[in-house]
Amino acid sequence: MISVSGYWLRPEDIEKLNVSQTQRDIANRMLAMPSRYRYGSISELLFELRFRVHTVESARELINSGAKFATFSKTYGNEEFWRVTPEGALELKYRAPASKAIRNIFESGSLYAFECATAIVIIFYMALLKTIGDQTFDRNYQRIILYDWHYERLPIYTDKGNDYLPGDCLYFKNPEFDPERPQWRGENAILLENNLYAAHGLGILSGETIIEKLNGLRKPHAQTSAYLLSQVTRVDIPALIQMIR
């Protein structure tokens, strides 16, 4: 369900939107969901649709960039733009343009390694950069620290439920993970389309294949399978729009 300024949209309203077919498909999925998506204006809804398409694009691009999976202690990045902190965070260097630094991860992925939650935040930053452009992004994000779920002025939230949309971050939990490899206690992944996910460190895979791979990373004699958690992590677009100057 989609509400714009208190008006609940109908299928015929979606057909009138001046958007791509991919964006229209996402809007129709939102319309069919029991969840309520509320916007103050049509422009906020259109921003959300663009952001979601850019999230899917950016997730695919990061998987294909050559950036590697690494634990925090083994994180590294291009020192032209980023400083690696003792905790394993990538901190934007003083006066380095944020837009160039984020783009560099996708353009020179072989110079980077980080874990999967960090990858999701990077994808969201890149999606926002594509949506608002370099100048606005640089003005709003002069300080960035890439570390786990750490983010600046990016209203990310998690809700329970199964109302999954392209561009959402979902979590595959591995309850009996190998304690010698705790990084595989689960996997964050961006939903690209029906049952196809971008999972940093694993690739672009179906949900069943992600579960199969995680099951291969369990402790000896494990009996409980990995599974897709009934929750969704996404960016609050109306709140984000209010933050951007």
pLDDT at 98: 97
Cα–Cα distance between 174 and 91 in angstroms, integer? 30
Per-domain boundaries in the chain:
158-232
pLDDT at 238: 94
Q: What are phi and psi of 24, to 5 degrees?
A: -65, -40
Model confidence, pTM: 0.95
The tens digit of pLDDT for each residue in 156-175 reads: 999 999 999 999 999 999 99
pLDDT at 175: 96
Q: How many CA atoms lie within 13 A of 87 on its CB side?
A: 8
The tens digit of pLDDT for each residue in 171-195 reads: 999 999 999 999 999 999 999 998 9
